[in-house]
Amino acid sequence: MAAMETPEEKALRLKDSGNEALKICKYSEAADLYTQALELHETSVLFSNRAMAYIKMEQYGQAILDADCAIKIDPQYVKAYYRRGSANFALGKNKAAKKDFKKVCQMKPKDKDARAKLAACTKAVNEAAFAMAIESDETAPLSQTLDPGQWAISAAYEGPHPGAGGEVLEDMDAEKMLFTPGMLPREFVMDAIKGFKDGKVIHKRYVARLLISCKEYFESVSTLSEITIPDLGADGSPDSAHVTVCGDTHGQFYDVLNIFELNGYPSASNPYLFNGDYVDRGSWGLEVVLTYFLFKISDPNCIFLTRGNHETKNMNKIYGFEGEVKHKYDINIFNLFLEVFTWLPLAATINNKVFVVHGGLSSEDGVTLDDIRALKRGIEPPEGGLFSDLLWSDPQPFPGKSPSKRGVGYSFGPDITAAFLEKNGLDLLVRSHEVKDEGYLVEHAGKCITIFSAPNYCDSMGNKGAFIHFGHDLEPKFTQYAHSPHPDVRPMAYAQGMGGLMGL
């Protein structure tokens, strides 16, 4: 008769299974296996490995707690400091991350990766200190001082022009007028998208004009977009009228093109709402967000946009968008993007009955739509409160509220969802922010839907993408799709310093 497995032996077997799940990107399964092992035998390795799984799932708060446990058991376990540092950096806690990577470098002085991450943390701390030192309320934003006309368009430029017949305009006032909402020619938009597909970019002068126009437009509209389903659909029938809601697209431009192939390009009779996280992770964030902005300025009623937690300075610095824009354009264009991002609406309603927000609901009780309308924009998200919760929070299956596993925002239960909807005369909450195997998930007794539109997220997750149609009956109708082929550029190709965060 075979000897019975000891708890330690069973824990080791579960750990090995967790490691295998981690290798094939089944992060939730890996975390569950490590949890089962920890219930049998607590070790620094198991806590550290589960921290790694949590980092992969972007549950940075949980990762930090597990790394703390690993260090408590074994203060010399270097990987625990490494993973805690990575989670802290992802949350923008640069000083804490610097301290952890300094410890790693002391313990493993020849580790080139740890030295690179320490340098990235040190740079981030110094940049934050410098920015604070020179910060002044009197400094005019770049969008008010930059003159795009300073950038001449050479004969070598092969991209599209917005002028009639695709000509370069010599009159800068006339060119500027074309970038006012409702004036940008649809032909220019479609030619730009065709160029993006072929790996080309539009001229920096046009990008700057577009971003300045977007900033002025979003600054003029409400923090809460109120969307109405059109009377008639694209085929002229009221039965086909709908609004399409998409979740995270994260720089996956070729999957965005597939959405348009399946569902038609945006128009006033085929409107879209993209619910945040347009950039970072995927390496075509620039093409994705420019596509959305081009449509918005061409026809403000054809596309609506809400802000995600990745339309923020800290996330862009870590997860690739800053490096991507600097590579394809320069720091001025990136800073203009940051200005636009700060003015994006934070939520939307559809026919006053469906509430759409990137993250979720607040830790505060009794929040109303007027509270959301009253939020100050033009800023980076604060560390806590309603603004932050809208971008970062997630649903949980059990009642009440809990600190988020991400380390930012809160987790909210079905009772919180029901109370918010009832107080505001709403029927349904739609949010994004989390990858789902099927591209969507319905929970909270059918009152909360998560929609995620980036299939095979980060070229590794194997998930489907999805979008939702809301017609006049406001019943959600889902369309799922697989990922589309794209040029051979890896995710986060432009991330600097901490670009290896996902490959711990």
CATH for 363: 3.60.21.10
Residue 161 to residue 206: CA distance in whole angstroms:
8
Q: For residue 16, count other CB atoms closer than 10 A to its CB.
A: 12
370, 463: one domain: yes
- Domain membership of residue 387 (yes or no) is yes
Q: For residue 93, count other CB atoms closer than 10 A to its CB.
A: 20
pLDDT of residue 29: 93
167, 111: one domain: no
Tell the residue number behind the tokens 């320069």, with chain if given: 330
Q: At what angle do helices 204-220 and 285-298 cross, to 10 degrees?
A: 60
- Domain membership of residue 399 (yes or no) is yes
Strand order in the sheet with 440-443: 224-227, 347-350, 354-357, 428-431, 448-451, 440-443
Print burial letters for 38-53: b (CB count within 10 Å at least 16), e (below 16): bebbebbbbbbbbbbb
Beta strands in 303-360, from DSSP E residues, in sequence order: 303-306, 347-350, 354-357
- The answer, yes or no, to whether residue 498 has pLDDT greater than 60, is no
pLDDT of residue 2: 54
**Contact in structure between 358 and 276 (CB atoms under 8 Å):** yes
- The answer, yes or no, to whether residue 194 has pLDDT greater than 80, is yes
51, 195: one domain: no
Give the confidence band of 157 by pLDDT, cuts at 50, 70, 90: very high
Residue 92 to residue 121: CA distance in whole angstroms:
10
- Domain membership of residue 1 (yes or no) is no
**Contact in structure between 61 and 406 (CB atoms under 8 Å):** yes
33, 118: one domain: yes
- Domain membership of residue 51 (yes or no) is yes
The two structure tokens encoding residue 314? 């800290």
pLDDT of residue 167: 84
Residue 464 to residue 406: CA distance in whole angstroms:
23
| Average pLDDT rounded to a whole number, residues 263-286 | 97
- Which helix (H) or strand (E) segment is 467 a member of? strand 465-470
The two structure tokens encoding residue 272? 């879209």
Residue 303 to residue 227: CA distance in whole angstroms:
10
Selection from 491, 432, 474 nearest residue 308 by Cα: 432
pLDDT of residue 496: 64
**Contact in structure between 284 and 252 (CB atoms under 8 Å):** yes
pLDDT of residue 125: 86
- DSSP single-letter state for residue 452: B
The count of C-alpha atoms lying within 13 angstroms of the C-alpha of 30, restricted to the half-sphere facing its C-beta, is: 23
- Which helix (H) or strand (E) segment is 332 a member of? helix 331-343
Q: For residue 381, count other CB atoms closer than 10 A to its CB.
A: 23
Please, what sign has the CA dihedral across residues 93, 342, 255, 481?
positive
Tens-digit pLDDT profile for residues 19-67: 999 988 889 999 999 999 999 999 999 999 999 999 988 899 999 999 9
Catalytic residue selected from 161, 310, 433, 444: 310
Of 134, 169, 199, which residue constitutes the final position of a domain? Answer: 134
pLDDT of residue 134: 64
Tens-digit pLDDT profile for residues 56-111: 888 999 999 999 999 999 999 999 999 999 999 888 888 999 999 999 999 999 88
Of 87, 106, 134, which residue constitutes the final position of a domain? Answer: 134
Residue 321 to residue 334: CA distance in whole angstroms:
8
Strand, coil or helix: what is 19? helix
- The answer, yes or no, to whether residue 504 has pLDDT greater than 70, is no
Residue 100 to residue 398: CA distance in whole angstroms:
34
Give the confidence band of 423 by pLDDT, cuts at 50, 70, 90: very high
- DSSP single-letter state for residue 168: P
Instruction: Give 454 or 92, the one with higher predicted confidence.
Output: 454
Give the confidence band of 363 by pLDDT, cuts at 50, 70, 90: confident
Tell the residue number behind the tokens 């095979």, with chain if given: 456
Q: What range defines the domain where residue 69 resides?
A: 7-134
Tens-digit pLDDT profile for residues 461-495: 999 999 999 999 999 999 999 999 999 999 989 98
Selection from 191, 181, 190, 185 nearest residue 169 by Cα: 185
- Domain membership of residue 252 (yes or no) is yes
pLDDT of residue 127: 79
Selection from 9, 78, 19 nearest residue 46 by Cα: 19
Amino acid identity, position 329: Y
- Domain membership of residue 278 (yes or no) is yes
- Domain membership of residue 175 (yes or no) is yes
Residue 389 to residue 405: CA distance in whole angstroms:
13
- Residue 327 catalytic? no
306, 218: one domain: yes
346, 494: one domain: yes
Of 134, 155, 175, which residue constitutes the final position of a domain? Answer: 134
CA 486 to chain centre: 20
Q: At what angle do helices 27-40 and 7-23 cross, to 10 degrees?
A: 170
112, 159: one domain: no
Give the confidence band of 135 by pLDDT, cuts at 50, 70, 90: low
pLDDT of residue 98: 94
The two structure tokens encoding residue 173? 């006032």
Q: What is the mean pLDDT of the chain?
A: 93
Tens-digit pLDDT profile for residues 213-226: 999 999 999 999 99
Residue 252 to residue 281: CA distance in whole angstroms:
8
- Which helix (H) or strand (E) segment is 60 a member of? helix 60-73
180, 109: one domain: no
Tell the residue number behind the tokens 């497995």, with chain if given: 5
- The answer, yes or no, to whether residue 500 has pLDDT greater than 60, is no
351, 404: one domain: yes
Query: How many domains does the chain contain in total?
Result: 2
Find the Cα–Cα–Cα–Cα dihedral 84, 90, 91, 92, rounded to 10°: 110
**Contact in structure between 444 and 210 (CB atoms under 8 Å):** no
Residue 282 to residue 454: CA distance in whole angstroms:
9
CA 24 to chain centre: 23
243, 337: one domain: yes
167, 95: one domain: no
- Domain membership of residue 298 (yes or no) is yes
CATH for 50: 1.25.40.10
128, 149: one domain: no
